[in-house]
Amino acid sequence: MVRPLNRKLLRDLWRLKSQVITIALVVASGIGGYIGSLSAHASLAALRDGYYESARFAHVFAPVRRAPRAIVTRLRSLPGVLDLDPSIVAATTITIPGESDLMTGQIVSLPRDPDSGMNRVVLARGRWVEPDDDSGVLISQSFARARGIQPGQRLSVLMNGRQQAVTVRGIALSPAYIFAASQGGFADDTRFGVLWMPENRLASAYDLKGAFNLLSLRLGAHGDERSIITAVDKALANYGAAGAYARKDQLSHKMLTQEIEEQRVFGTVLPSVFLAVAIFLLHVLLSRHIATERTQIAALKAMGYGNGTIGAHYFAFTSVTVLFGVVLGVAVGYFFGRWMTGLYARVFSFPDFHFAIVGWVGASAVLLAVVSGVVATFSAVRAVMRLPAAEAMRPPAAPHFHRTFLDRLRLGALLPAPARMVVREIERRPLRTSLTTLGIASSAAIIIAGTWWGDAFAELVDSELFRRDRADVLLALNEPKAIGAFAEIRRLPGVLMAEAARTVPVRLRHGATEYRSALLGLDPDARLRRVQDAQGRDLPLTNGSLVINDRLARVLGVRVGDRIEVEPIEGTRRATHLVISAESGDLMGMYGYVTRRDAARLVGEGDTFNFARVRVDAAQDAHFFEAVRNTPGIAAAGDKRRMVANFRATSQHNLLMFATILSVFATCIAVGVVYNSARITLAEQSWELATLRVMGFTRAEVSWTLLGQLLVQMLIALPIGFLIGHALAAFILDLISSEEFRIPLVVDGGTYALAGTVMLAAGVATSLIVRRRIDQLDLIGVLKTRD
């Protein structure tokens, strides 16, 4: 390369530094988001897998009612099974002295030797519970943290209907309870805890001496999950097997994996939009830059500079910009990814932490940026190559203007000259105007796509926890009871309304597809738990009818009118066939609904119930929970009001973080687009603008010809951006939708308003900067040379 051209390159970069920097920021946002999210995804997945391996997390879980330990030896010979670990788990309620709050939890047995067994418990703080310790427990770190529990704290837990005093000896972690939640509930660390105690204590409390109720299995590389599950179920059938399930159906693993997967979606979708915008910005900047240098380029050619040299000169211009963005992006990506990995590793309570930019992610990011740069530069540089050298001998071309639409309507005369300039400029370059508009629109869309989650979750909570389930508390019984016992629940203090339910775990089959689910048996006139279709209309339940969730129907490949096989995993276990009478539109969970009578019949019972939904007078809350605690037979109670409040608080905190980060990125883009287009227009029109000033137009009037274009573009861009944002939200939803729940596509006015406000703020900030530039316009200098 030739020295003076290099100097020109440096000076051009310096002169256009603010544009170069804003574009580099957009590139950096895209690259940073991409590297950060995908590396966080890979790091978290690696942390998870490493943790699982070191803690010997099981591959298959087989819950039973009560099976003798002797059977373990028999199962050991199953082909593909590496190891088995019998243990005891039990649902419980936890009471912290002095707190009225009702908390549920799970008690899990500890092996004699802390280094044996599966799903190994790792001590985070405090000390281990010795086998002969008759009151010590370990407690899950997330619960301890949420409740401020320290070793030494005394608690009371419900064991087989009796309150037992225990003392926390240590705080611990387990791969099986990374997400701790009661089945089907929201993960709520303040209201759900896991306790570990020596196996012999659990066994004697639950009358499981020499027996177990959960068998964990680790499989060899060639172990076939499906056939092992079938074999295990068969072997345990006589011991009240509740149906073995694979790791992918394990609650904690499922939630953890879903969370980690979301990183991947965010890591690809949003940065793609960012990079597309960056390509567009680079392209516009470079083609406008080149357009203003046409005569210089022609002169260079006339002097004998070849196409290659000149092309390389302009290519270098974008390369430097992109490179700058890449370097910045890798740094941003590293810190963003590290921060996110740390955040999640803490939420997930991973015992160790490690973050690294994954090689292929970094390499593909750089490649992506380079390709973006080439794409953005290609047509502009080709235009340079095609530019005839004779151009240098001609006066700078006066651009072609048309009589505008406005002129044709004869409205033009009504507008002052600067306004006419605005309209003609916009009409003269329809492509550029639409591209700039699209750029502004995409920034608005990114803000929406990043922040609508709050609206969606609010709708989710509202739909599932208020419109469909209107109870305050859900009580679970240890064992189904005859309906006569329901009067006892009605009599609990503070109960305003109570409804009984009989829930039966089932396997649903249609053809070759099978799904583990549950049938919720409700009374036909139930008011507290409603079965509703996707539009929120109540679906009536009558004896003999079966309503199933629409997502479940898709999984099974059935529709209304089809027969499916229903096999209860409890009681008689006798499979029957039922005809689907309607589909419900619940957003969470995949259940079927029958009448309580039908549910009881399915398992060969009479008029029974095992759940109760209760409305409680808020003023008598404490009395109510006190009474529940002292009622034998109630295994667990879910306090919906507190759960919702807590869920809102934590999710709002996380959403706010995420929204803030995205807004920063989107603002970079917005400012990048708006500022660049204003600056380039200024460069192109500075000659005209200076001429106007010389002719006596005021600074304000001259500014308006430029800012007017910006304003018009903004006004067109915002509604388009709202539409794109909505579409982008739908697209992301589609990518992260899981079987477990459906996030409703709801974008509130407030979210649009936020996007609009951020964009307008970017517009105003840009206007002020540009206005200052116009004020400083060097009239004589501008008129002397046309560059």
Quote the least distance from Cβ 783 to other proteins, whole Å. Answer: 10
Distance, in Å, from the CA atom of 320 to the CA atom of 10, rounded to the nearest integer, reads 10
> Which one, 14 or 113, has the nearer CB to other proteins?
14
> Which one, 317 or 722, has the nearer CB to other proteins?
317
> Which one, 395 or 749, has the nearer CB to other proteins?
395
**Secondary structure of residue 217 in the 3-state scheme:** strand
Distance, in Å, from the CA atom of 754 to the CA atom of 749, rounded to the nearest integer, reads 9
> Which one, 614 or 782, has the nearer CB to other proteins?
782
Distance, in Å, from the CA atom of 478 to the CA atom of 596, rounded to the nearest integer, reads 17
Quote the least distance from Cβ 688 to other proteins, whole Å. Answer: 17
User: By C-alpha distance, which of 86, 84, 136 is closest to 111?
Assistant: 86
Residue 557 in the binding site for other proteins (CB under 8 A): no
Beta bridge partner(s), residue 214: 63, 87
Quick one: which of 164, 272, 296, 434 contacts other proteins (CB under 8 A)? 296
Quote the least distance from Cβ 441 to other proteins, whole Å. Answer: 34
Q: Could you tell me the two tokens for 566?
A: 């229903």
Distance, in Å, from the CA atom of 109 to the CA atom of 106, rounded to the nearest integer, reads 10
> Which one, 148 or 304, has the nearer CB to other proteins?
304
Quote the least distance from Cβ 275 to other proteins, whole Å. Answer: 29
Quick one: which of 306, 544, 632, 750 contacts other proteins (CB under 8 A)? 306
The stretch among 33-41, 198-206, 301-309, 614-622 that binds other proteins (CB under 8 A) is 301-309
The residues near 83 (Cβ < 8 Å, ≥ 6 apart) are 56, 118, 217, 218
Residue 165 in the binding site for other proteins (CB under 8 A): no
Distance of CA 54 to the CA centre of its chain: 28
> Which one, 396 or 399, has the nearer CB to other proteins?
396
Within residues 371-390, the interface with other proteins by CB under 8 A covers 388-390
Residue 428 in the binding site for other proteins (CB under 8 A): no
Residue 2 in the binding site for other proteins (CB under 8 A): yes
Quote the least distance from Cβ 288 to other proteins, whole Å. Answer: 16
The residues near 758 (Cβ < 8 Å, ≥ 6 apart) are 444, 447, 663, 666, 667, 670
Distance, in Å, from the CA atom of 138 to the CA atom of 109, rounded to the nearest integer, reads 10
Quote the least distance from Cβ 318 to other proteins, whole Å. Answer: 17
Quote the least distance from Cβ 392 to other proteins, whole Å. Answer: 5
Quick one: which of 40, 118, 178, 300 contacts other proteins (CB under 8 A)? 300
> Which one, 154 or 382, has the nearer CB to other proteins?
382
| φ, ψ (nearest 5 deg) of residue 636 | -155, 155
Quote the least distance from Cβ 3 to other proteins, whole Å. Answer: 6
Q: Which helix (H) or strand (E) holds 421?
A: helix 417-428
**Is residue 452 a contact partner of residue 424, using CB atoms and an 8 Å limit?**
no
Distance, in Å, from the CA atom of 420 to the CA atom of 422, rounded to the nearest integer, reads 5
> Which one, 385 or 582, has the nearer CB to other proteins?
385
Residue 507 in the binding site for other proteins (CB under 8 A): no
Residue 524 in the binding site for other proteins (CB under 8 A): no
Quote the least distance from Cβ 372 to other proteins, whole Å. Answer: 26
Quote the least distance from Cβ 785 to other proteins, whole Å. Answer: 5
Q: How many residues touch other proteins (CB under 8 A)?
A: 34
Residue 295 in the binding site for other proteins (CB under 8 A): yes
Quote the least distance from Cβ 11 to other proteins, whole Å. Answer: 4
> Which one, 226 or 784, has the nearer CB to other proteins?
784
Which positions from 387 to 416 touch other proteins by CB under 8 A, shown as an x/- string? -xxx-xxxxx--------------------
Encode 425-476 in three state secondary structure.
Answer: HHHHCHHHHHHHHHHHHHHHHHHHHHHCHHHHHHHHHHHHHHHCECCCEEEE
Strands 245-246, 136-140: pairing kind: unpaired
Query: Which amino acid would we find at residue 530?
Result: R
Residue 787 in the binding site for other proteins (CB under 8 A): yes
Encode 134-202 in three state secondary structure.
Answer: CCEEEEEHHHHHHHCCCCCCEEEEEECCEEEEEEEEEEEECHHHCCCCCCCCCCCCCCEEEEEEEHHHH
> Which one, 21 or 299, has the nearer CB to other proteins?
299
Quick one: which of 128, 305, 486, 687 contacts other proteins (CB under 8 A)? 305
Residue 304 in the binding site for other proteins (CB under 8 A): yes
**Is residue 340 a contact partner of residue 263, using CB atoms and an 8 Å limit?**
yes
> Which one, 48 or 301, has the nearer CB to other proteins?
301
> Which one, 388 or 536, has the nearer CB to other proteins?
388
Distance, in Å, from the CA atom of 192 to the CA atom of 147, rounded to the nearest integer, reads 10
Residue 290 in the binding site for other proteins (CB under 8 A): no
Q: Could you tell me the two tokens for 687?
A: 């000659």
Quick one: which of 60, 129, 171, 298 contacts other proteins (CB under 8 A)? 298
Residue 487 in the binding site for other proteins (CB under 8 A): no
Within residues 740-779, the interface with other proteins by CB under 8 A covers 778
Quote the least distance from Cβ 324 to other proteins, whole Å. Answer: 19
Quote the least distance from Cβ 268 to other proteins, whole Å. Answer: 40
| φ, ψ (nearest 5 deg) of residue 579 | -100, 135
**Is residue 693 a contact partner of residue 410, using CB atoms and an 8 Å limit?**
no
Helix-helix angle 640-695:699-736, to 10 degrees: 150
Within residues 7-66, the interface with other proteins by CB under 8 A covers 7-8, 11-12, 15
Q: Could you tell me the two tokens for 446?
A: 């990114």
User: By C-alpha distance, which of 527, 528, 522, 532 is closest to 472?
Assistant: 528
Q: Could you tell me the two tokens for 36?
A: 């950060």
Distance, in Å, from the CA atom of 629 to the CA atom of 537, rounded to the nearest integer, reads 36
Quote the least distance from Cβ 5 to other proteins, whole Å. Answer: 7
Give the residue carrying structure tokens 């899981």: 738
> Which one, 10 or 237, has the nearer CB to other proteins?
10
> Which one, 210 or 304, has the nearer CB to other proteins?
304
Quote the least distance from Cβ 389 to other proteins, whole Å. Answer: 4
**Is residue 721 a contact partner of residue 445, using CB atoms and an 8 Å limit?**
yes
> Which one, 1 or 414, has the nearer CB to other proteins?
1
Which positions lie near other proteins, rule CB under 8 A? 2-5, 7-8, 11-12, 15, 295-296, 298-307, 388-390, 392-396, 778, 781, 784-785, 787
